[in-house]
Structure 1
Amino acid sequence: MQSNEERRKQRENDITDRGESEEEDDNPHPCKRAMISPFEELFAADDELKMKSTESSKLSIDNKVDAEIKMYQDIPPTMTSDDPAAWWWKQKNAYPFLSDLASSYLYTICPERSRILPEKADMLIFLNKNC
């Protein structure tokens, strides 16, 4: 039979051992690496290239959108009597991203829906954008 002092020391050792094992889990041994399948290992280089190209294309799309916005801001304003849908249709080659965005809004709020309330128009735009 163990005395109270021996039991207390045993509990302290158990707690210390658990604390050390938790620290080891946080910092895995450098020689150990995650298990990957042979298929993943075979195509690891291709996957890495795809990840890099995806990141660079995202950056280039952001740059293209910024350039479109700057070009759009530099053009003179159009007359209010001009048809906005027709204007954006003509400009779709010059502003591909902005024309897609504008057309989604312009066809949501059109003359056939001219009597809808602003709240309903906001809901339609939300649904058009998210569905």
Structure 2
Amino acid sequence: MAAIKEKVWGDLEKRYQDQDIQNFLQEATLMDPRFKGRLEVSVAEAWDRLEKAVIDNATAAQLPIEDPHQSEAGEEEDQGGIHPRGAHKMSALEQLFEDEDRELLHTSQTTSSALSITEQVQKEMEMSKGLPAIPSGQDPVAWWASKRDTLPNLFVLSEVCLCVQASSTPSERVLSCAGHAISQERCRILPEKANMVIFLQKNC
């Protein structure tokens, strides 16, 4: 088994010579809770690149995108006492406690913004490094879903790193269908007809 693993690893190293691809694979390995402790090369550099990627992603997600014309129109409607389309109409209870609710919202926003994005990401990175690895048979997507509240910034990036793995299964299934459609008994079938038969076998 060890010899097979070495041959597979050697083949993968030959296939992915591009430095960007290697960096991404290392970062994806660190994001996978099953294998983050098994990365043997450039671990510190990989963690630094991953931290930078999380900070860049979190910063881009918090940038406000506003339409100046829409904001001006909204201000005019608010001044005229007209609720903008889709705006929440306050209930009598909300109107009664409007000042208290506004102060509570302001307090929560101040507390959440006490740490900068960089500090938040660094804190999450330290927590992630301290978490133990999980067995290889456990679902990493479900693991990240359970850590969504404690590691929100890392969770967002995990959806990119832990995408669906490349597989040759669909193409092999097409070849199997083609083997049934094109045979010795049907060796004069036209390409257009073969495409139609394979399509029907795959989708019906």
Tell me the TM-score normalised to structure 2 length.
0.25
- Higher RCO structure, 1 or 2 (CA under 8 Å, sep 6+): 2
Instruction: Specify the structure having the higher radius of gyration (Cα).
Output: 1
Tell me the TM-score normalised to structure 1 length.
0.38
